């Protein structure tokens, strides 16, 4: 008896620990959604700050609408298609049934990225404008197989004579389907509905590649938010969790809500939703500007102000990397303005994807720091207007890092005193840049022996220093003081130092990556004049101040940069890089062979 009680107690403990493991991260996230500071790990005080920002952010609310409507419509359509297909399969010949079921399993077994690229190519090949409709069709395509898989086993359990019996009793074939067959498949259909809605509402990869014209769902918006520390994510996620919890409770406590009058009301609301969705976006102004920019890299309020000032509509989309931007552009997606990085601009110039800028329309040209003009990728700035600039350097704790060790430059990252206490930036280009500069080579080298030496430098560092390769999460980790040294972009360094005054930043004397992100015109730009007006608008003093405050990176506009040094903007210009330093370089275009060599060696470094 005692053993049974002991086993029961252990079983309860195991169950409790399992639930803690599942739900503790959600609880922590919900607690930090009320944090008054920007930190995702340090609780500074209670505040509704991020909920207010969430409600006022029109892009997030629009994304919620897109996610909900897409999920609801995709669920309804895929459930109807999947159920009808499952019933039809039960009446098909065995060979037909086996072939279709095997084909049905392909989208389920395939990685999302394969289906995403396939659908993107399909829509591009049939010249179908990407947007709400393409996202909806894509969601229907990947949800339907899950419905078939859920419903078909229930169909096989049915007695084949049930439908015949119903029709013998006077039912029409349609009545037999609706009143007899469908109710008996209810459990499988509900399982398909839940799967479809969850898969659609949660999807990111497929949605990202098939959307366009400024249509983004929650997953895309949240993913772009993660490129910078943005606690609004916690507030949004908390609301989603609470809504789901409330719906689950109501579905248990009020089962009658799905019957009678409420059922009719829900049906009417669904029809209204479909009609509203169908006509959304039909009204638009005559002038449209399509912008493709990195996530969290432009204050949304500035877009609204530009629309009002120039009486136009701005379709604003975001990407997570230069490479994904390039992929979407090559797949047929059309934009007027891109904001890529230096090396990608050079690649687009070489591939004739850009058109020259009429600098006579850029009235604020003289406000740009000459040091941020004339970079090697575009020597005469024929194609590019600088947007944000900076360097890659070393952020360190002033209390624990010996100032004498800073003289070692990049070799500081291999100093045994700091083993296990270093964040490297999880970037192939920047990591190899560090190694090449430490060895005294150009970061744009194509010499295989020099590249091999850089690879060995990184392997030696990883083996002896126990470094951690981190992405944008390095910002919150350094604010929290988790390690003493980190490789960061200067703009991120400024942001981090504003939150933690024990940190400082420097560019090693061996030289570093001096980067520049710039605005460019695509060859397919439909309204060149409006696009150049936007470029000029983004160089206006007040606009630059607001955007720099929002993004936190260094502006190429000299006067703004100087003025912000004397202000109390959080994270702005806590450090201003010395541009044009003798050993600094800008990343240049790499030929395919060199790109492949770096990629192969980087894979080995990460796998070591």
Residue 17 near residue 210 (C-beta atoms within 8 A): no
Q: Which of 53-67, 119-133, 559-573 has the lowest mean pLDDT?
A: 559-573
Four-point Cα dihedral 309, 315, 318, 324, nearest 10: -140
Residue 530 near residue 537 (C-beta atoms within 8 A): no
Cα 293 from Cα 302, distance rounded (Å): 14
* Partners of 391 in the β-ladder: 514
**pLDDT for position 570:** 43
Q: What is residue 498's three-state secondary structure? A: helix
Q: What is residue 411's three-state secondary structure? A: helix
Confidence band of 269 (pLDDT split at 50, 70, 90): low
Q: pLDDT by residue (tens digit) across 289-303?
A: 999 998 778 988 899
Both tokens assigned to 485 = 């040294």
Q: Which of 37-46, 306-315, 339-348, 589-598 has the lowest mean pLDDT?
A: 37-46
**pLDDT for position 451:** 95
Output the average pLDDT for the chain: 84
- Residue 268 in this model has a pLDDT that exceeds 90: no
Sort strands 514-522 and 422-425 into parallel, antiparallel or unpaired: unpaired
**pLDDT for position 89:** 86
**Tally of CA atoms within 13 A in the half-sphere of 4 that contains its CB:** 1
Q: pTM for this structure?
A: 0.76
Confidence band of 281 (pLDDT split at 50, 70, 90): very low
**pLDDT for position 341:** 93
Q: pLDDT by residue (tens digit) across 405-462?
A: 999 999 999 999 999 999 998 889 999 999 999 999 999 999 999 999 999 999 999 9
The residue among 29 and 531 whose pLDDT is bigger is 531
Q: What is residue 589's three-state secondary structure? A: coil
Residue 270 near residue 72 (C-beta atoms within 8 A): yes
- Residue 66 in this model has a pLDDT that exceeds 50: yes
Cα 40 from Cα 262, distance rounded (Å): 41
**pLDDT for position 170:** 77
Q: What share of the chain is helix, strand, coil (3-state, %, to 5)?
A: 60, 10, 30
**Tally of CA atoms within 13 A in the half-sphere of 36 that contains its CB:** 4
**pLDDT for position 278:** 47
Confidence band of 573 (pLDDT split at 50, 70, 90): very low
Cα 225 from Cα 204, distance rounded (Å): 13
Percentage with pLDDT > 70 across the chain: 88
**pLDDT for position 389:** 92
DSSP labels, 248-262: HHHHHH-GGGGSHHH
Nearest CA-CA partner of 401 in 505, 304, 519: 505
What is the distance, to the nearest Å, from the Cα of residue 276 to the centroid of all Cα atoms in its chain? 28
Residue 511 near residue 531 (C-beta atoms within 8 A): no
* Partners of 390 in the β-ladder: 515
* Partners of 487 in the β-ladder: 394
């Amino acid at each position: 008896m005692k053993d049974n009680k002991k086993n029961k107690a252990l079983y309860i403990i195991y169950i409790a620990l399992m639930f803690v493991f599942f739900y503790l991260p959600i609880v922590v996230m919900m607690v930090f959604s009320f944090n008054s500071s920007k930190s995702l790990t340090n609780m500074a005080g209670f505040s509704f700050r991020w909920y207010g920002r969430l409600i006022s952010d029109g892009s997030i609310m629009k994304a919620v609408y897109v996610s909900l409507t897409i999920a609801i419509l995709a669920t309804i359509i895929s459930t109807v298609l999947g159920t009808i297909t499952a019933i039809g399969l039960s009446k098909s010949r065995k060979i037909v049934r086996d072939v279709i079921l095997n084909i049905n399993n392909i989208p389920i077994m395939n990685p999302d990225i394969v289906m995403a690229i396939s659908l993107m190519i399909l829509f591009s090949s049939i010249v179908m404008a990407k947007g709400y409709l393409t996202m909806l069709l894509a969601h229907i395509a990947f949800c339907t197989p899950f419905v078939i898989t859920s419903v078909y086993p229930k169909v096989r359990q049915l007695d084949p004579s049930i439908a015949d019996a119903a029709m013998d009793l006077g039912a029409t074939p349609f009545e037999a389907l609706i009143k007899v067959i469908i109710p008996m498949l209810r459990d499988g259909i509900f399982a398909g509905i839940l799967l479809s809605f969850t898969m659609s509402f949660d999807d990111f990869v497929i949605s990202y590649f098939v959307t366009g014209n400024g249509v983004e769902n929650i997953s895309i918006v949240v993913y772009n938010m993660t490129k910078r520390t943005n606690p609004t994510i916690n507030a949004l996620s908390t609301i989603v969790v609470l809504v789901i919890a409330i719906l689950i409770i109501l579905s248990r406590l009020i089962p009658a809500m799905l019957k009678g009058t409420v059922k009719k009301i829900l049906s009417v609301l669904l029809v209204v939703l479909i009609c509203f969705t169908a006509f959304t976006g039909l009204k638009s102004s005559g002038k449209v500007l399509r912008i493709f920019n990195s996530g969290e890299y432009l204050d949304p309020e500035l877009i609204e102000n530009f629309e009002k000032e120039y009486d136009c509509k701005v379709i604003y989309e975001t990407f997570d990397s230069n490479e994904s931007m390039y992929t979407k552009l090559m797949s047929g997606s059309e934009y007027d303005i891109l904001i890529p990085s230096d090396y990608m601009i050079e690649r687009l110039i070489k591939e004739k994807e850009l058109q020259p800028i009429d600098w006579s329309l850029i009235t604020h040209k003289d406000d740009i720091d000459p040091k941020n003009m004339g970079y090697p990728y575009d020597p005469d700035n024929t194609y590019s207007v600088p947007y944000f600039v900076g360097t890659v350097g070393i952020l360190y704790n002033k209390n624990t890092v010996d100032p004498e060790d800073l003289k070692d430059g990049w070799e500081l990252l291999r100093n045994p005193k700091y083993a296990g206490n270093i964040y490297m930036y999880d970037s192939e280009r920047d990591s190899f840049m560090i190694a090449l500069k430490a060895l005294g080579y150009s970061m744009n080298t194509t010499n295989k022996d020099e590249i091999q030496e850089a690879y060995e430098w990184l392997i030696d560092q990883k083996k002896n220093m126990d470094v951690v390769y981190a992405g944008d999460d390095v910002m919150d980790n350094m604010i929290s003081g988790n390690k003493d040294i980190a490789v960061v972009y200067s703009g991120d360094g400024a942001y981090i130092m504003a939150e933690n005054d024990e940190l400082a930043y420097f560019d090693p004397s061996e030289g570093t990556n001096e980067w520049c992100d710039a605005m460019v015109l695509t060859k397919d730009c439909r309204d060149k004049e409006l696009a150049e007006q936007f470029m000029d608008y983004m160089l206006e003093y007040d606009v630059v101040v607001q955007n720099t405050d929002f993004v936190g990176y260094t502006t190429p506009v000299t006067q703004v940069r100087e003025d912000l040094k004397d202000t109390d903007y959080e994270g702005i210009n806590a450090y201003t890089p010395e541009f044009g330093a003798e050993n600094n370089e800008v990343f240049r275009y790499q030929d395919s062979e060199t790109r492949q060599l770096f990629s192969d060696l980087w894979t080995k470094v990460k796998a070591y």
